[in-house]
Amino acid sequence: MILSIDYLWFKLFNTRGLGVKSLHKIYEMLTIHNISIKEFFALEEKKANELISPIARGKFSNISLDNIVNNEDPSVLSNYQKIKEDGFKIITIESEEYPQNVKNIMQDNAPIILFCKGYLPLLNTQGISIVGSRDVDEFAVLLTKSIASNLALSGYNVTSGYAKGVDTAAHIGALESQGTTTAILSYGVNFLSTRKELRRLDWERNTLFVTQFPHYEKFSGRNAMTRNKLVCAMSRAVVVISSGPEKDFDGKMSGTYDAGKTALQMNLPLFVLSPVLFSKPPQGNMDLIKNGGIEIKNGNDIVDYLANKMFPIKEDFNKEQKTQSNSQINLFD
């Protein structure tokens, strides 16, 4: 049996009945007893049961020694090997490489595993996220590239969601200035492909791809909303280029607005591109500024602001999180 730490967490991650909260219960148990998952799997059955019993109750009754240890689905090992062969590294919540800010901010909502490919030191660097609509005009694309370039030249890692529109422009703007960028995905590693816009740039050395989703998970609006929390938690600040209203007339939710709202809940600086720069001012930009966003007109505004201000990390973010509603999600904003 493979006893590497990343494989054992991957095995638990793929165990039927164990969700994010259950996995965090197991992680909390290991932390309290100061043992790694590898050491736990090596324990005698009696001792392992003694550790499991106190948490395997009520809604966590699916946490059992049999469920944890005896998951012998052969596809788990083959999928693990395929992911590694494809160049992805599995960063577990036990790893020193795991981003500490994500642990601090998201707490028991922090992903147990991050699947990463690229320049791993970017997991724990000074990042600023740029978010915005998928469907934007050339003016917004040029503004995004300019802001991303300015931030990259000032030493910040530019983070975004690897979608078309603003996200792609942010990644390109950073790379064109010989900066670095992190792309946080809303789907599993099986569906990652290099965008043609990046192929002409030095993306292999200066880019990190990150996803919290299982390898087989396809894109969905719900995943995009979940991804937004990780985008914010991995950033020192968040920049909104263009956002629709929180909900449109059909009840569809704006992913960009959700990211901005999440940044405010996390007590991160939220910079919002001034509505006056647009021929048709984005409603979401106006609303986010009213709710605490900092109105800016260029990347210099952001750099100057951060150089003169210090912002604490809000430790109790997960207490403020609300269950995602069943509203439709606007995938084009």
Q: Which tens digits make up the pLDDT trace of 87-129? A: 999 999 999 999 999 999 999 999 999 999 999 999 998 899 9
* CA proximity to 254, closest of 327, 181, 184, 333: 333
**Interval 30-37 mean pLDDT:** 93
Give percent of the chain with pLDDT exceeding 70. 91
pLDDT of 311: 44
Beta carbons of 296 and 263 less than 8 angstroms apart: no
Residue 51 to residue 63: CA distance in whole angstroms: 11
**Interval 264-280 mean pLDDT:** 94
Residue 4 to residue 245: CA distance in whole angstroms: 46
Beta carbons of 134 and 163 less than 8 angstroms apart: yes
DSSP letter (8 states) at residue 153: H
Residue 264 to residue 255: CA distance in whole angstroms: 14
Total Cβ atoms within 10 A of residue 217: 17
CA 33 to the chain's CA centroid: 28
* CA proximity to 284, closest of 261, 251, 301, 267: 261
- Higher-pLDDT residue of 217, 66: 217
CA 204 to the chain's CA centroid: 20
pTM: 0.89
**Interval 139-162 mean pLDDT:** 94
Those residues whose C-beta lies under 8 Å from the C-beta of residue 106, and which sit 6 or more positions away, are 229, 230, 233, 317, 318
Phi, psi of 130 (to 5 degrees): -120, 125
How sure is the predictor about 304, in pLDDT bands with cuts at 50, 70 and 90?
Answer: confident
CA distances from 180 to 95, 174, 241, 313 (A): 23, 6, 19, 23
- CATH architecture designation of domain 118-330: 3-Layer(aba) Sandwich (3.40)
pLDDT of 332: 35
Model confidence at 138: pLDDT above 70: yes
Which strands form 157-160's sheet, in the order they lie side by side? 89-92, 113-118, 207-211, 181-184, 157-160, 127-131, 237-240, 270-273, 294-296
Q: Give per-residue burial for 257-275: e unless 16+ CB within 10 Å, then b.
A: bbbbbbbbbbbbbbbbbeb
How sure is the predictor about 330, in pLDDT bands with cuts at 50, 70 and 90?
Answer: very low
Model confidence at 145: pLDDT above 90: yes
pLDDT tens readout for residues 187-229? 999 999 888 777 777 777 899 999 999 999 999 989 999 999 9
- Higher-pLDDT residue of 156, 2: 156
Q: Where are the alpha helices (DSSP H) in 107-181?
A: 138-153, 166-176
pLDDT of 118: 94
* CA proximity to 109, closest of 1, 22, 167: 22
Longest dimension (CA), the chain: 69
- Higher-pLDDT residue of 262, 63: 262
CA distances from 293 to 86, 145, 170, 277, 290 (A): 40, 21, 20, 16, 7
User: What are the structural domain ranges in the chain?
Assistant: 5-85, 118-330
Looking at every residue in the chain, the average pLDDT score rounds to 87
Those residues whose C-beta lies under 8 Å from the C-beta of residue 268, and which sit 6 or more positions away, are 232, 235, 236, 237, 238, 311, 313
